[in-house]
Structure formats: structure tokens, C-alpha cells
Amino acid sequence: MSQFILLLHENPSDFSDVSPDEIQAIIGRYSAWREKIAAEGHFVDGHKLADEGGRSLTRTEAQLRVVDGPYSEAKEVLGGLFVIEARDYDHAVEISSGCPHLEYGGRIELREIDQMHDDD
Amino acid sequence: MTDSSFPQPVLRIAPDPETPPQASPQETHVHLRVVDHLFRHDAGQMVSTLTRAFGLPNLSLAEDVVQEAFIAALKNWPFQGVPENPAAWVLRVARNKALDVLRRQGNWKDKSPAVQSSFRTLEGMGSSEEPRFAQELRDDRLRLMFACCHPCIPQNSRTALILKTVGGFSTSEIGRAFLTRGTTIAQRLVRAKRHIRSEGLRLEIPSSEQLPELLPNVLEVLYLMFNEGYSSHQGEALVRRELCSEAIRLCELLAEHPATQTPETEALAALFLLQGARLPARSDGDGDLILLPMQDRRLWNAEMIGQGLEYLGRSARGQKISTYHLQAEIAACHAMATDYENTDWASILRAYDDLQRLTPSPVIALNRAVALAEVKGPKAALEILEKIQHQPTMADYYPLHASLGALYKRLGKRHLAQDHFRRALELTISQPVRRFLLDQLHR
């Protein structure tokens, strides 16, 4: 088994006039997905990233440059991430494809965590 | 008695009833119990109680922070899981956001006993079963309902305001239910809140002296809310049905509260429950209206009928018979009938007689005529309908033409009957009604 990271990008303006009823429905969908992949042994971890945009660090010559995020023109931000376990990319895509994030217009970036160990 | 059919406004986490308890040892097996509109009802409760804490002029602030707190939940819980006590989580976020805003404004003393007491009430709401706060939570909603329906608030804003604050509906949901643009609803809400501030309204449950003046307003708003959901055949079916449930929920709140449980309130609760019980049979899979004679009565909600009859019994103790009493009585006759033919038409006719005296209208005259036809035969009914059919509000009303068609048919006047069935067909787009009319036309 390998570990994969799901980076969930979202558009904050999608949250404007969503009602408590709709929020309940959405959270219900996420909970169901989480429980399903946990029951199948694929769920490892989930993290919500803080809302403020973070910092971008670069060093040019001796100068440290720190820029407050978000850094791109794009409207979407990285909202949070999941770590899952899967056999390979195909399997990871299959697991991620059930994530409700996709139904609400979000984008998921899927990356494998490189776990090259000494014994590999 | 009211607890069973409508969820109480407390966020709860419970094991899914479908899964046996021993199969859910871990956090990941805990489900958000599938209770309808739990978050919405909690939002309404939080807005009501935070408004008590911060004062009616801060109603918008209370709404904003509750909304923001629910959004925070939406952003967090998918990743972190639903916390053990979700209501407490949302409340804490909402309260802290409100205190931040007020402290920034500079003149806020959050140590006042009133604020501390309402915070304790809210904590009570969060800490699952805490009966001693239930009364206070209920009172908070009641106070806000009276404020929303105060005579100084424009009539057309009251329903939207109560749905938004106590009901936890979003502006666009209200717009969808009323076939009005969300921006129009938003403007109404802004105007209403301006009135709340400029008139210096206070949050209070009316004294027994004020009650006769203030309660009818609230009942009327609930009546309009229910009717909007029940009668309109346009708009989004789901949201409209939710208007009915919300009207029932708020009316039960009034009917169960010692300060507001008048016979009129109970009659209105009876009317809502008896009518609401028929909702599942009232439309087909496509959401089209099914008329009473063709409804599958097995789909009627027996529990709601039982509750409605109980309220109707309680409402009979008063001196005055209100229009709600009479309408509830009619609804009860229908709800108790095994089929259309075996309905107690004589009682229905008597109730319509009284109703017509109390609030005369052509629609009541039409309904009365339908009952009259069942009691005294089609001729007597026709005499009435022939008189009202030329009134401007009735000329294009398809139920009138459908009724005229049926009566002429019973009298063997085929051609006249067909004219009216055709006219009725021109006036309705509901497919089950059209099928019924076509059937009548050709048989």
C-alpha cells in the first residue's frame, strides 16, 4: 500500500448564501464518504488549513522574501487535505472520485507520497 | 405529544439507527443523525438566543455570526470530522465572532448578568439534554417571533423576517418558496430591521393585556406561511413543503406555551396538522396536484391527524369561534372520512355556513356549494355557482368550472358540462387534474 495526499482546492465565494439546511446536507455527504473509506481501511488523516492565505517564502541572494498568500490570481484556495492509502494511482483516483468535493465544484489534486525506504 | 413528529432544535450526534451499537466503536462510525433541518432549527435557536444576549438592535449581527459559524463548520468538519458536540462547537464560534465585533466597536460590557445568563442558556443547548434550559430556549424563539410580527413591521416583510431569523432559512430559499428574487427578499429584510431599530422594539413575550392585540398578527403570519406552502402550485415543491412544516413547528411552539396557548392558537395548530397530514397524497411523482376525491388516503399521515384532532378538541374550550376553528373543523371532517362519498358533508356545510358569515368570499361560497351539492343535491349548488361565476375573480378559476361541469353532468346537461370541463382544462396545467377533467369530459 502507498499513501496518497488529496489537496482540496475550493472557491471561497461558493460559500456566500449557503443555508444551514444545505450545509447539513453537504457535511452529511462528506461524513458518509469519510466513513466509507475509513471502513474500507483507506482513510489515514484529514487536515483543515487555516483560512488566512499563509506565507510564501523565497530567498534571493542574501534576502529572505516573505509574501502573504494567496499568491496567484486564481480565485481558488487550498482548503484542506486528506491522506489516504491505496494500491496505486488508479486505485487512489477511484477512492477520491467519491469525494463530495468534486460535486460542489471543487478541484482535487492527487499526489503520491514518495515512501522510498532503505529496504526498498 | 409534539416531540415525535418534528425534531427538537438541538444538534445531536447519535449512532445510525441502522447500524447495531456494537459495530460503532470509533469516531468514524458516528453519523450525523439524519434529522431533517437540524442545522436550520439550531441556527434559528442560536439567532434567537444570541439576540437576547446582545439586544434586538444587534439582530443582524446575531444572524451574521451564526451564518459564519456554520460556514466555518462546513469548512472544517469534512476534514476534521464532526465534533462530539456540534452545537456547542458552532455556538462557541458564533459567540466569539460576535464578541470580537462588539469589542471592536468599543462599548461592550460582556459581563452583564443578562449576557451571562443567555450564554449559559446557549451552553445548555449545546450540552445535549438539559431540560432546565429548554424553557428559556423556547422563550427566546417566542420573543423573536413577536418582534418579527410587531405592528410596526411592514406586513409583507414579516413572513420573510420570521423565516430568516427564527426559521434559519437563507434569503434565496425564501425567494424560491415565494417565487421572488433573493434580492427582493433581502431588501424587505433590511427594511424590516430598520423598523426594529427605529421603533426601539424590545424582545418580550406579551403580557395577557397585550396578547389580544399582538397574537393575531403572529397567527396570521403563520397562516400565510402555511398557505404559501400549501396552496401555490408553482415554485419549488420541496421548499414549499418546508414552509408548511415550519409553520406547523412555530404554531406548536405557541400552542404549547402557557402565555400563548389560546383556543385560536390551538385551532390554527389543528388546521395545520390536519391539512399537513394530507400533503403526501396531494401531489404525484411529478409534483402535480391531486384533488381530494382522487387522493390515496392511505398516504395521509395518521399521527398528524391524531395530533390535529387533539388540538381541535383543546381549542373548543373558548367562547369565540374563529375562522381557524371553522377551517380546522372542515379539515377534520375530511381527515376522518374513509372516502370522499362517506364524508360528513352536513357538518362541513354547517362550518361553511358559519365561515361565510364570518369572512364572506367567492372561494368560500364555491366550497360551500360543493358541500351543499352533497347534502341537498346539485340543483341547490348550481343556483349559487351560477350567481358567482361572473365575478371577476372567479371567471378564470378552474375549480369553479370543474365544479360547474360536475354539477351539470349530474343533472344530465351534457353540453353545458362539457363546456365547463373544457374551460377548466384551459385554466390548469396540473397533469393529474387535466387527466381527471379529460376523463370527466369523455365519459
Which residue among B34, B75, B81 places its CB closest to the CB of A34? B81
Q: What is the pLDDT of residue B73?
A: 93
Q: Of the candidates B195, B170, B173, B175, which has an alpha carbon nearest to the alpha carbon of residue B185? A: B175
- Is the Cβ pair A20, B168 closer than 8 Å? yes
Percent of residues, chain A, with pLDDT higher than 90: 56
Q: Is A20 helix (H, G, I), strand (E, B) or coil?
A: helix
User: Taking 60 as the threshold, does the pLDDT of residue B353 lie above it?
Assistant: yes
The pLDDT of residue B282: 85
Across the interface, whether the CB atoms of A15 and B70 are under 8 A apart is answered no
Helix B431-442 × helix B414-427 angle, to 10°:
160
Mean pLDDT (chain A, rounded): 87
Mean pLDDT of B378-389: 92
- Grade residue B311 by pLDDT with cuts at 50, 70 and 90: very high
Distance from CA of B314 to the nearest CA of A (A): 33
Task: Using CB atoms, pick whichever of B37, B73, B170 lies closest to residue A27.
Answer: B73
Section B112-116 average pLDDT: 74
Written as nine digits, the cell of B159 is 413572513
For residue B143, the model assigns a pLDDT of 93
pLDDT tier for residue B111 given thresholds of 50, 70 and 90: low
CA distance B118 to B133: 10
Residues above pLDDT 70, as percent of chain B: 87
Query: Radius of gyration over alpha carbons of chain A, in Å?
Result: 17
**CATH topology assigned to domain A2-112:** Alpha-Beta Plaits (3.30.70)
Residues 6+ positions from B422 with CB-CB distance below 8 Å: B441
Q: Does residue B264 come out as left (phi exceeding 0), alpha (psi in the -120 to 50 range) or beta?
A: alpha
Q: Mean pLDDT, to the nearest integer, of B100-112?
A: 78
Write out pLDDT tens, residues B179-225.
788 889 999 999 999 999 888 888 888 888 999 899 999 999 999 99
Q: How confident is the model at residue B307 (pLDDT cuts 50, 70, 90)?
A: very high
Distance (Å) of CA A20 to CA A50, B71, B168, B323, B343: 22, 8, 7, 35, 42
Three-state SS for A27? Answer: helix
| pLDDT of the residue at B117 | 77
- Least confident among A42-51, B178-187, B428-437: B428-437
pLDDT at site B284: 79
Judging contacts by C-beta atoms under 8 Å, the chain A residues touching residue B43 are 20
B82/A contact by beta carbon, under 8 A = yes
* Whether residue B14 has pLDDT greater than 80: no
- For residue B393, the model assigns a pLDDT of 83
Task: Say whether pLDDT at B439 is over 70.
Answer: yes
- Give the chain B residue whose CA is nearest to the CA of A40: B28
Per the CB < 8 A criterion, the answer to whether B138 and B125 are in contact is: no
Higher pLDDT, A67 or B126: A67
Question: Which of B108, B47, B43 minimizes the C-alpha distance to B71?
Answer: B43
Give the strands of the sheet with A2-10, arranged side by side: A43-48, A77-86, A2-10, A107-112
Q: Using one digit for the tens of pLDDT, what is the confidence trace for A66-102?
A: 888 766 656 678 889 999 999 999 999 999 999 999 9
Does the beta carbon of A101 lie under 8 angstroms from any beta carbon of chain B? yes
Is residue B15 over pLDDT 60? no
Kindly state the cell numbers that stand for B391.
365575478
CA dist., res. B365 & res. B363, Å (int): 5
How far apart are the C-alpha atoms of B197 and B49, rounded to whole Å?
Answer: 18
Cα A31 to Cα A38, B81, B379, distances in angstroms: 10, 7, 63
3-state secondary structure B402-442: HHHHHHHHHCCCHHHHHHHHHHHHHHCCCHHHHHHHHHHHH
Res B80 pLDDT > 80: yes
Weakest-pLDDT range from A15-19, A94-98, B61-65, B327-331: A15-19
Hey, how many other C-beta atoms are within 10 angstroms of the C-beta on B258? 7
Angle between helices B398-410 and B431-442 in degrees, nearest 10:
20
B182-191, B207-216, B328-337, B433-442 — which is least confidently predicted?
B433-442
Mean pLDDT of B321-325: 95
The whole-chain average pLDDT of chain B stands at: 85
- Are the C-beta atoms of residues B276 and B290 closer than 8 Å to each other? no
Q: Which backbone phi and psi does B25 adopt, to 5 degrees?
A: -80, -20
Count of CB atoms situated within 10 Å of the CB of B42 = 27
pLDDT reading at B274 higher than 80: yes
Least trusted range by pLDDT, from B38-42, B68-72, B173-177, B282-286:
B282-286
CA A35 to chain B, closest CA, distance in angstroms equals 5
Q: Would you say residue B7 has pLDDT above 50? A: no
Q: Is the ipTM above a cut-off of 0.90?
A: no
Q: In 3D, which of B351, B257, B272 has the Cα closest to residue B310?
A: B272
Q: What percent of chain B lies above the pLDDT cut of 90? A: 53
* Per-residue pLDDT at B130: 61
Q: Which residues of B touch A51 (CB under 8 A)?
A: 75
Of B24 and A70, the structure prediction assigns the larger pLDDT to A70
pLDDT of residue B30 exceeding 50, the answer is no
Condensed to tens digits (0 to 9), the pLDDT of residues B41-56 reads 999 999 999 998 888 9
Q: What is the pLDDT of residue B17?
A: 35
pTM for this structure?
A: 0.82
* Torsion angle of the four alpha carbons B322, B325, B329, B330, in this order, in degrees rounded to the nearest 10: 50
Stretch (H or E) spanning B213: helix B211-231
Quick check: A15 and B168 CB within 8 A? no
Query: Per the structure block, which three cell numbers stand in for B10?
Result: 438541538
Residue B127's pLDDT band, with cuts at 50, 70 and 90, is low
Closest Cβ opposite residue B74 in set A15, A31, A43: A15
In this prediction, residue A72 carries a pLDDT of: 63
DSSP assignment of B101-162 equals: HHHHHS---TTSHHHHHHHHHHHHHHSS--HHHHHHHHHHHHHHHHHHT-TTS-HHHHHHHH
Q: What is the pLDDT of residues B151-191, one digit of tens each?
A: 999 988 999 999 999 999 999 888 887 778 888 999 999 99
> CA of B76: which chain A residue's CA is closest?
A48
Helix (H) or strand (E) holding A107: strand A107-112
pLDDT of residue A67: 83
Q: Which three cell numbers stand for residue B191?
A: 427594511
Over residues B334-349, the mean pLDDT reads 94
DSSP state of B201: -
State the pLDDT confidence band at B332, using cuts at 50, 70 and 90: very high
Pairwise CA distance, residues A79 & A53, whole Å = 10
Tell me, what amino acid is at B29? Answer: H
- Residue B31: predicted pLDDT: 43
Cα–Cα distance list, B214 to B83, B156, B210, B220, B257 (Å): 41, 17, 6, 10, 15
Instruction: Please check the confidence at residue B379 and state whether its pLDDT lies above 80.
Output: yes
Of B261, B351, B247, residue with least CA distance to B311: B261
Q: State mean pLDDT over B284-292.
A: 77
Q: What is the pLDDT of residue B294?
A: 85
Go through B151-167 and write b for each residue having 16 or more CB atoms within 10 A of its CB, e for each that does not.
Answer: eebeeebbbbbbbbbbb
Grid cell for residue A115:
515512501
